[in-house]
Amino acid sequence: MNPTVGALRATFGDAIGRTLVARDGDSIVYVRADRLRAVLQWLRDTADERYDYLVDVTAVEYRDGERPLEVVYFLRSLARRVDLRVKVELDPAGELVVDSVEPLWRGADWLEREVYDMFGITFQGHPDLRRILMWETYAEGHPLRKDFPLRGRFSRAEQVRQALNISPEANYSLEELSIADAQDDLPADMRERLARGERGKIPLSD
């Protein structure tokens, strides 16, 4: 068991739930959802811990409908070469909301967008929470949930129709389409549109 687990329990008390050791030897700590941001901040900033690298954020929904959804944070301390997994349980019957850790690790931006896209879990405080794999007008739900049919909810013809109506540029903001370094070389009208925050037009959105 990773010694961090004991230190976490001493610091956060009953905000830390059960702990276990995964088959690959990493420790798993369950944390109450409302204390998640504080726990992760503590893990990142405490001198003895220094989990400075967020490897991945993902989620799990088990086939057993009784079990809650889990959001999993894979942490690594690059200096100490230690791994830790932090999990948060969410009741699928209730609201799927958890605090965003994007303020702690910039890299969490796209990871949390992917979890949102695939599982429908909302990350509070995320600066730009929208779909990242499926297109923005995708209306069939969140594909990795267990209640999502393998072939999607719509008929194939409807899926083709909707897909052909995607505007490919609409998946990206104009900032993402341009190169930040080229900002000065852009034509004046485009710079003005970027400054206004204009986005590509999304058909079918109304």
Partner 1 sequence: MKHVIATETQEVAGQSPNFLLARFERLVDWAVNASRANSLWPMPFGTACCAIEFMATAASRFDIARFGMERQAFSPRQADVLICAGRLPFKLAPVIRRIYDQMPQPKWVISMGACASTGGIFDNYAMVQGIDTILPVDVYVPGCPPRPEGLLYGILLLRKKIQGESLFDGVSRRDEHPLDERGLRLSPQAIDEISEPFGNSVHQFRSA
- Asked if 28 touches partner 1 (CB under 8 A), the answer is no
- Asked if 196 touches partner 1 (CB under 8 A), the answer is no
- Asked if 19 touches partner 1 (CB under 8 A), the answer is no
- Asked if 176 touches partner 1 (CB under 8 A), the answer is no
- Asked if 160 touches partner 1 (CB under 8 A), the answer is yes
- Cα(88)–Cα(59) distance, integer angstroms: 9
> Least Å distance between CB 64 and partner 1?
23
Number of residues that bind partner 1 (CB under 8 A): 24
Task: Take residue 65 and report the two structure tokens written for it.
Answer: 């409908």
- Asked if 146 touches partner 1 (CB under 8 A), the answer is no
Element housing 117 (H / E) = helix 108-119
- Cα(85)–Cα(63) distance, integer angstroms: 21
Task: Name the strands in the sheet holding 53-60, side by side, starting at the edge strand that comes first in the sequence.
Answer: 16-21, 27-31, 82-90, 69-77, 53-60
- Asked if 152 touches partner 1 (CB under 8 A), the answer is yes
> Least Å distance between CB 190 and partner 1?
21
- Asked if 135 touches partner 1 (CB under 8 A), the answer is yes
Contact 63, 87 (CB under 8 A): no
- Asked if 147 touches partner 1 (CB under 8 A), the answer is no
Counting Cα atoms < 13 Å in the Cβ hemisphere of 170 gives: 15
Task: Take residue 191 and report the two structure tokens written for it.
Answer: 């710079």
For the chain, the 3-state helix, strand and coil shares in percent, each to the nearest 5, are 35, 20, 45
**Neighbouring C-beta atoms of residue 202, cutoff 10 Å:** 16
- Asked if 173 touches partner 1 (CB under 8 A), the answer is no
> Least Å distance between CB 138 and partner 1?
9
- Asked if 168 touches partner 1 (CB under 8 A), the answer is yes
Nearer to partner 1, 80 or 146 (CB): 146
- Asked if 161 touches partner 1 (CB under 8 A), the answer is yes
Residues that bind partner 1 (CB under 8 A): 134-135, 140, 143, 148-152, 155-168, 171
